[in-house]
């Protein structure tokens, strides 16, 4: 039985940690903004094959960079499990009269909220670079995709964090996983431009559907229908939550 109080308390803990760490807020914005500024302005005169002529590279790039930021932030949210194990907090909550699914949901809720804050901030900052949002509905649809991306990759990060005890090893494994997911997602270039066999690999990347869905909502250009992207993103999100809960249930607190 899910305990709403436990979920809320763990969510609140993550929010307080996030708000107190000002350097963390700045750090999670700097790298995506560097990509957006240098790539966006550096390739601003490039045309995107298969896209309408009025779509600039910055317009194409913004959803991909938001997806990249969410990917990095969400995957590394799993490292908090290792910190809690290191300092004994994980053992304390494991012995509490609360089922582990509630603990997982609390962590996912906290990580998803911080990821959503990052995504919305990046979207607002992109407006200063000439990006335009068609209206409130496209913005809300994009927020839904941000939530799904964050949830999916926090779940994946929890899976690895539940099976590992070394923080340095976790960081190395995450980098090994994150960059292929990022480059295969179509964040920087259309998936259609990839060779055939690599394109098929990109379709098993959850980020592909999140980025494509945001792109369809925000600029009206997508490789797949938004409804299809939404359905696949929801399926990946639920699957990762269940898998993350399963591995966390089997993990050791020390």
Alpha helices, DSSP H, located in the chain: 4-20, 22-42, 57-76, 79-86, 89-94, 100-127, 136-163, 167-184, 196-202, 206-219, 226-250
Residue ranges per domain, the chain? 4-250
pLDDT higher than 60, residue 253: no
Can you tell me the distance from the alpha carbon of 84 to that of 121, in angstroms, rounded to the nearest whole number?
Answer: 28
Q: What long-range pairs does 87-93 form, CB within 8 A, spacing at least 24?
A: 90/253, 90/254, 91/253, 91/254, 93/10
CA-wise closest residue to 86 among 175, 168, 177, 174 = 168
Q: Write b or e for each residue in 103-117: b if 16 or more Cβ atoms lie within 10 A of its Cβ, otherwise e.
A: bbbbbbbbbbbbbbb
Q: How far is it, in rounded angstroms, from Cα 246 to Cα 159?
A: 8
> What are 186-241's pLDDT values in tens digits?
888 888 777 778 888 888 889 999 999 999 898 888 888 999 999 999 999 999 88
DSSP-based helix, strand, coil % in the chain, nearest 5: 75, 0, 25
Least confident of 38-52, 114-128, 131-145, 230-244: 38-52
Burial 8-34 (b: 16+ CB within 10 A, else e): ebbbebbeeebeeeeeeeeebbeebbe
d(CA 122, CA 138): 16
Would you tell me how many other CB atoms lie within 10 Å of the CB of residue 1? 6
The answer to whether the beta carbons of residues 21 and 110 sit under 8 Å apart is no
Classify each residue of 157-189 as buried b or exposed e, where b means 16 or more C-beta atoms within 10 Å of its C-beta. bbbbbbebeeeeebeebbeebbeebbbbbbbbb
CA 155 to chain centre: 10
Question: pLDDT class for 10, splitting at 50, 70, 90?
Answer: confident
Kindly report the pTM of this predicted structure. 0.86
Q: What is the pLDDT of residues 24-52, one digit of tens each?
A: 677 777 888 887 877 777 666 666 665 55
């Amino acid at each position: 039985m899910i305990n709403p109080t436990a979920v809320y308390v763990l969510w609140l803990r993550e929010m307080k940690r996030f708000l107190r760490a000002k350097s963390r807020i700045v750090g999670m914005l700097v790298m995506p903004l560097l990509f957006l500024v240098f790539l966006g302005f550096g390739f601003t005169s490039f045309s995107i094959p298969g896209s309408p002529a009025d779509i600039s590279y910055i317009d194409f790039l913004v959803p991909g960079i938001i997806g990249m930021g969410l990917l990095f932030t969400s995957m590394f949210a799993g490292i908090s499990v290792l910190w809690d194990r290191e300092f004994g907090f994980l053992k304390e909550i494991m012995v509490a009269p609360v089922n582990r699914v509630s603990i997982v949901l609390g962590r996912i809720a906290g990580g998803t909220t911080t990821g959503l804050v990052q995504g919305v901030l990046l979207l607002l900052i992109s407006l200063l670079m000439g990006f335009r949002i068609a209206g409130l509905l496209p913005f809300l649809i994009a927020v839904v995709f941000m939530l799904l991306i964050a949830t999916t990759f926090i779940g994946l990060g929890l899976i690895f964090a539940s099976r590992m005890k070394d923080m340095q090893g976790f960081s190395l494994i995450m980098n090994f996983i994150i960059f292929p997911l990022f480059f295969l997602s179509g964040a920087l270039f259309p998936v259609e431009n990839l060779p055939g066999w690599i394109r098929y690999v990109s379709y098993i990347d959850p980020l592909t559907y999140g980025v494509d869905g945001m792109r369809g909502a925000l600029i009206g250009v997508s490789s797949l229908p938004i409804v299809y992207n939404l359905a696949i993103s929801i399926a990946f999100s639920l699957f990762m939550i269940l898998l993350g809960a399963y591995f966390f249930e089997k993990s050791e607190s020390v």
